[in-house]
Every structure is written in C-alpha cells, then in structure tokens.
Amino acid sequence: MRDNFYTGTRRNIAHLLDNPRFEILRHDVTFPLYVEVDEIYNRACPASPVHYQFDPVRTTKTSVIGAINMLGLAKRLRIKVFQASTSEVYGDPEVHPQVEEYVGHVNPIGFRSCYDEGKRCAETLFLDYRRQHNLPIKVVRIFNTYGPRMHPNDGRVVSNLIMQALRGDEITLYGDGEQTRSFCYVSDLIEGFVRLMDSGPEVTGPINIGNPNEFTIRDLAHMVIELTDSRSRITHCPLPPDDPR
C-alpha cells in the first residue's frame, strides 16, 4: 500500500502494521513509482469537496498525472490496474438513475471541475491504454460510501450530519434537502472492487458500484437526529454550485 496521508493518518492503519502481509510506503502518486507488484489499485485523490477544492490544481494533478504514473507502471509490469473513478463523472445528471452508458452533464470550469474532470480524464487514459497497449484495466465509478474511521470533518454529508447532531449544532441542509443520494457501506464497496479485479479480461468497466436504494438528504438528517437522540434543529443554506440533484 502507498499513501501520502493528505487526507488520512497512519492511525487508520495502525492495526495492520504488525501484519507480515502488509506494507505501507509513503508516496505521492504524482511522482513516478518503481516497485514490483502483482496488480495495482489506484484509489488516489481526495473525494470530499472540502479537501479536493482546498487545492484544486493538486486535485487535478493527482487524478491525471497519478493515472499516467500508475498506467505506466502497469504497462511496464504487464499487470492489471484498477482505477477508482466516481459518480461525479456524471456531473449534475439529466438522466436518473445513471447508467454507465450515460456520458454526463458536467461543468468543465466550475468549483467541482478539478475533481469531476480529473476523474473523467483518468477514465479516458485508462480506456486509451486498453485500446492502444492492450493493458488489462478495471474502472469503477464509486457512489457515496461510508464506514469506520471516516474523518470527522471531511465535509461529506454522513459525517457532517452525525458530527452536527452529536454536538447539538444546527443540522445544515443545502437547498431544500430534496436532492437524493445512495449510500454504500465500505466493506460492500471493497467486495465489489475485488470481484471486478478478479473478473475476466473482457470486463473492463466503467462499472457503477453503490446502492440501488436512495433517499433524500432531508430523510438522512431526520434519521441521524433520531439515532443520536439529538436536539439539533434543521437549517437551510444555499445549494453549492453544480451540486448534483
């Protein structure tokens, strides 16, 4: 495993450090990496708007240059390489629910573009390496994921609402709260990764991985308030630009 800990911490993997089958290398994916491995899972890039908008140029570099570096390594070793893409490649979609054939509705110059377009370009690179070099690739589009050891201030809706409810702060909903999301538990997501990686060479993706059931952010807020027995009240703020409905 390699990570630059831009959005994470070594504490998250402390329980793995004594495992003889686990090794961690501190490394930034925007720099070339020369290692001998059997397969590559490229999951680099902050996924929270708070983090990816903090340094948008770095976000784009991570997605694009990182993809180039990992594809180059996979090409040299002739191994399978996996790309963690995102539902954000669909932008604010005009098709619902989104199927993999839908090409999206994305603003290329907005505040979210560093992430949306960076991931779209990474997908382009992966498919072109497949077509040009016959490289075995796998591409997954991840929908909203949650689970243990999430950063409490990462800006994603699940952790945001839970932290506000636990503190007794106002529960912040953007817009009318009627925008819908689906949520996938992290272990289910990882199982999807492994199953795709173990699939035959004819299966490249992109493949959506998420949850077929969705509900409104307002429903999520009420669920969080109930489960935490919080006295927090719901308040509304303006909807961020290009926020998917």
Residue 137's Cα: distance from chain center in Å? 18
Residues 6 or more apart whose CB falls under 8 angstroms from that of 206 comprise 85, 89, 100, 123, 139, 140, 141
Nearest to 214 by CA among 178, 238, 241: 178
Per the CB < 8 A criterion, the answer to whether 40 and 81 are in contact is: yes
Nearest to 142 by CA among 210, 82, 79, 191: 210
List, as one string, the DSSP characters of 112-174: THHHHHHHHHHHHHHHHHHHHH---EEEEEE--EE-TT--TTS--HHHHHHHHHHHTPPEEEE
Which position among 6, 115, 129, 174 bears the catalytic label? 115
Known catalytic residue at 34 = no
d(CA 177, CA 159): 16
Neighbours of 8 (CB within 10 A): 14
- The structure tokens listed for 211 are 């949850």
Catalytic residue list: 115
